[in-house]
């Protein structure tokens, strides 16, 4: 499915306009940590420690902040289980799964092309 810029402008207003809600959403989902957390959750439900190990280099503070933001956006659901010790699971919502159907091809392209792109910028 290919979408033109004209179609995007028609559907959501002016994406280049300051204050457009698309900028907020893009900031949340396209940030380095947002993309990686969403990508990790594509494989299924994860606990906090699993996400921390999966997304190498993310601090506890940044993971907490990223998960709160994605949850507030309706992309991730947090489920706290009343157990001892406490257990909290994170998973993609239906909206999050829909997003990742579109984002996975982009991430695949980045994975394939990243060495060549980074190599060019080092020259």
Confirm whether 9 is domain-assigned: no
Q: Is residue 107 part of a domain?
A: yes
Terminal Cα distance for the chain, rounded? 35
Q: Which domain holds residue 35?
A: 19-122
**Secondary structure of residue 77 in the 3-state scheme:** strand
Q: Give me the residues paired with residue 46 across strands.
A: 90
pTM of the predicted model as reported, rounded to 2 decimal places:
0.85
Structure confidence at residue 27 (pLDDT): 86
Q: Quick check: is 13 in a domain?
A: no
- pLDDT tens, residue by residue, 62-92: 999 999 999 999 999 999 998 888 889 999 9
Report the run of H or E that residue 90 belongs to, with start and end.
strand 87-92
Q: How many domains does the chain have?
A: 1
Identify whether 91 is part of a domain.
yes
Is residue 12 a part of any domain in this protein? no
Kindly report the CATH number assigned to the domain that includes residue 110: 1.10.10.10
């Amino acid at each position: 499915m290919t979408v033109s810029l004209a179609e995007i402008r028609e559907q959501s207003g002016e994406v280049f306009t300051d204050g457009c809600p698309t900028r907020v959403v893009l900031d949340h989902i396209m940030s380095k940590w947002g993309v990686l957390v969403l990508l990790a959750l594509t494989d299924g439900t994860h606990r906090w420690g699993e996400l921390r190990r999966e997304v190498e280099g993310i601090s506890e503070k940044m993971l907490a902040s990223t998960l709160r933001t994605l949850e507030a956006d309706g992309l991730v659901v947090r489920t706290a289980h009343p157990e001892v010790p406490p257990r909290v699971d994170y998973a993609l919502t239906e909206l999050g799964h829909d997003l990742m159907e579109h984002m996975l091809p982009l991430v695949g392209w980045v994975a394939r092309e990243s060495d060549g792109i980074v190599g060019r910028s080092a020259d």
